[in-house]
Amino acid sequence: MKIGVLCHTSAGGSGVVATELGVMLARRGHEMHFVGSSQPFRLSGLGCMNGPYFHQVSGFAYALFEQPFPELATTNTLTEVILEHDLDLVHAHYAIPHASSAIHARNITGRTRVVTTLHGTDVTLVGAEPAFRHTTRHAIEHSDHVTAVSQFLADETREVFGVDRPIDVIHNFVDAERFVRITDPAVRARFAHPEEALLVHISNFRPVKRVQDVVQTFARVASEIPARLLMIGDGPERARAFDLAQQLGVIGRTHFLGSFPDVQTVLGICDLFLLPSSNESFGLAALEAMACEVPVVAARAGGVPEVIEDGVTGFLTPVGDVDMMADAALRILRDRELYMQLGTNARRAAIERFHPDLIVPQYVDVYNRA
């Protein structure tokens, strides 16, 4: 097939899923065309003869307009790609603006089909905002096919927007060949001494991720055992998390590494992943940690229980309960047998439930039906 892809190009989970899926599909012989204002975060250095190709959306500035029109510019570029490359369908990751742009381009060209994947905040945050409610509902109702990354999100979509159309649940996946345990002590020595536990958090540092809870949890852990914390990502809450680490006296053991695409090079050396989000439709970063045999301590929110089995691949705690999260972390880090068992279970679950060979064909089936 010839497939166009619209997605957020930053380090968020939806863009990562869209990029990884596009690469997997290209390797399986499909011709993939990404359309966006910048190249997707994880697309650099990946690809094959079938792409993925990238088509940049051009901006437009005119004094009459107070704001640019990125959705219309995306629609225009996508329309050109549809006509030039005769795309069979467009896969829009996020209801707005991407599904709206894809539907508009479909209407202009009179060809192609639109598959929309809902990732979370496009429903629970942006879509629920009154200013976008009708636009989001229209994008969902007028897509040719809709998928969601968790059963929680599919149910939430029906409740928030009152839609009764079919929504296929297709979980996210992880490349278990790339995300593996790194046993070289020299790599780990870059961040921690052998006797120190190495905790990690990865996110876009938005308020919903509760990154200050990460710092507070780590401060409690570090008061009991030697430990260090890696904070990977960037966003609006980074400065507050940094200030809190200073206030709690753990800034010397907390490393803010910023965003980078090859997170597997760090996840593979860590001992524990912290995910205290108040709402998480799936938890892709946690799944990537699981593939690296890293147990997860997470807040029981949204679709997280569909990924992490409490007491088997990690532990789930109430949202905002920093003490309980720290207790769970210390239990894992102090009990070597428990730690090893959770890590082994996590890796097994990642392979048996979320391997690309299981998930990617589900998307291909949706494409064929659409």
Domain extents for the chain? 2-173+355-369, 185-354
Question: Of 285, 326, 278, 330, which is closest to residue 299 (Cα–Cα)?
Answer: 278
Cα separations in angstroms, 75 against 62, 68, 69, 145, 178: 18, 13, 10, 19, 34
**How many helices, marked H, and strands, marked E, lie in the chain?**
14, 13
Is there a contact between 130 and 259 (Cβ–Cβ < 8 Å)?
Answer: no
Mean pLDDT over all residues of the chain?
A: 91
Strand order in the sheet with 53-56: 53-56, 31-36, 2-6, 89-93, 113-118, 145-148, 168-169
Q: Which CATH number fits domain 185-354: 3.40.50.150, 3.40.50.620, 3.60.110.10, 3.40.50.2000?
A: 3.40.50.2000
Task: State the number of CA atoms in the 13 A half-sphere of 111 facing the CB.
Answer: 15
Both structure tokens of 168 = 């296929």
Per-residue pLDDT of 261-276, as tens digits, reads 788 989 999 999 999 9
Q: Tokens standing for 59?
A: 């901006």
Fold adopted by 2-173+355-369 = Rossmann fold (3.40.50)
Q: Determine the average pLDDT of the residues in 120-146.
A: 82
CA distance 146 to 176: 26
Q: Looking at residue 88, what DSSP letter applies?
A: S
What's the average model confidence in pLDDT over 108-122? 91
Look at residue 355 in the predicted model and tell me its pLDDT. Answer: 96
Q: Which residues partner with 282 through β-bridges?
A: none
Closest CA to 122 of 144, 139, 143: 139
For the whole model, what pTM was predicted? 0.90
pLDDT over 60 (residue 312): yes
Residue 94 is predicted with a pLDDT of 87
pLDDT band at 126 (very low <50, low <70, confident <90, very high): low
Give the mean model confidence (pLDDT) for residues 187-194. 92
SS3 assignment, position 142: helix
According to DSSP, the β-strands at 31-36 and 53-56 are: parallel
Write the CB contacts of 361 (distance below 8 Å, at least 6 apart in sequence).
Answer: none
In eight-state DSSP terms, residue 262 is -
